[in-house]
């Protein structure tokens, strides 16, 4: 389908972008350095490795999602490359969807490599795998869910603002999203205008609080299957809404 072709092209573009490699190298360095730190502190090697490793994967993935995401639409328009695509039998929403899936697959492949790195380091430190490592996998899956959400709202911003503005807004959404549970608690405890604003914000920003299970997983805690299901559904629905909004804006836009 055309969406797949556009996605493949976006993937190819991302892979040929130098930014990607710099960030991957940094991430792997971080994982490597946590091995070193593990030698220094006693008894917490696994905890440290899992915490630091997951944080590295998460942060650098989000950086990639934002850095490439801000250009997904605006770059095509600025560079006029969009003209020869949209005059072909491609619908506007197909274009947006293709670009979105292209970046998401880039992130997925990326995460795969970094996860392999992390598990290799884990094996090196612990000499064998334990049952609790399954939940590290769940944590990585949750990080991937965060990526699909970050990409979705970054793309939305990219469809109507300049790259710098999009980057700033996306970053803000990411940070606030990590405290979204606190925001909802604040909304529940307040009244009047504050309550309305806080509630709107609390449901508009992505709920990353529930997806940041790095610390609990580092402690070997389990994750309930129901939670995994709910979070997956939520991430998909939220992203769908954002991407649809991006498509709507792009639909109505004149190319000049």
Toward other proteins, which CB reaches closer, 25 or 44?
44
Rounded Cα–Cα distance for residues 93 and 97 (Å): 6
Q: If you compute the radius of gyration of the chain from its CA atoms, what whole number of angstroms results? A: 20
Contact track, other proteins, 128-167, x by CB under 8 A: ----------------------------------------
The single residue among 20, 24, 59, 227 that binds other proteins, judged by CB under 8 A, is 227
Task: Verify binding: residue 124, other proteins, rule CB under 8 A.
Answer: no
Measured from the CB atom, is 117 or 150 closer to other proteins?
150
Whichever of 26 and 234 has its CB closer to other proteins, that residue is 234
Q: State which of residues 117, 135, 184, 187 lies at the interface with other proteins (CB under 8 A).
A: 184
* Minimal distance, residue 91 CB to other proteins, in Å: 7
As measured in angstroms, the least distance from the Cβ of 212 to other proteins is 8
Closest CA to 55 of 118, 4, 5: 118
Smallest distance, other proteins to C-beta of residue 118, A: 19
Q: Is 25 exposed, middle or buried (0-12, 13-18, 19+ CB in 10 A)?
A: exposed
Segment contacting other proteins by CB under 8 A, of 62-70, 117-125, 163-171, 242-250:
242-250
Q: Which is nearer to other proteins, 32 or 233 (CB)?
A: 233
User: Distance from CA of residue 150 to its chain's centroid?
Assistant: 4
Residue 197 in contact with other proteins, rule: CB under 8 A: no
**Closest Cα partner for 12 from 89, 140, 145, 101?**
101
CB neighbours of 111 closer than 8 A, spacing ≥ 6? 57, 61, 140, 143, 144, 147
Q: Which residues bind other proteins (CB under 8 A)?
A: 2, 5-6, 9, 12-13, 16-17, 44, 79-81, 83-93, 179, 181-182, 184-186, 189, 203, 207, 209-210, 212-213, 215-216, 218-219, 224, 226-227, 230-231, 233-234, 237-238, 240-241, 244-245, 247-248, 251-252, 254-256
């Amino acid at each position: 389908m055309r969406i797949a072709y556009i996605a493949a092209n976006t993937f190819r573009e991302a892979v040929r972008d130098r930014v990607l490699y710099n960030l991957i190298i940094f991430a792997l360095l971080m994982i490597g350095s946590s091995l070193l730190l593990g030698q220094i502190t006693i008894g917490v090697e696994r905890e440290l490795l899992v915490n630091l490793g997951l944080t590295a994967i998460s942060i650098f993935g989000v950086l990639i999602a934002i850095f490439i995401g801000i250009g997904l639409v605006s770059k095509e328009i600025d560079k006029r490359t969009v003209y020869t695509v949209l005059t072909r039998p491609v619908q506007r929403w197909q274009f947006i969807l293709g670009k979105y899936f292209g970046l998401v697959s880039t992130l997925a492949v990326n995460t795969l490599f970094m996860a392999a790195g992390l598990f290799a380091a884990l094996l090196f430190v612990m000499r064998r795998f334990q049952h609790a490592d399954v939940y590290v996998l769940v944590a990585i899956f949750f990080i991937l869910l965060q990526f699909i959400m970050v990409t979705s709202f970054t793309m939305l911003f990219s469809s109507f603002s300049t790259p710098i503005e999009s980057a700033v807004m996306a970053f803000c959404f990411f940070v606030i999203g990590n405290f979204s549970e606190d925001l909802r608690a604040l909304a529940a405890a307040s009244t009047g205008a504050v309550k309305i604003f806080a509630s709107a914000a609390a449901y508009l920003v992505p709920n990353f609080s529930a997806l940041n299970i790095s610390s609990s997983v580092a402690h070997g805690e389990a994750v309930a299957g129901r939670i995994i299901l709910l979070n997956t559904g939520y991430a998909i629905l939220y992203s769908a809404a954002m991407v649809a909004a991006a498509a709507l804006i792009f639909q109505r836009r004149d190319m000049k």
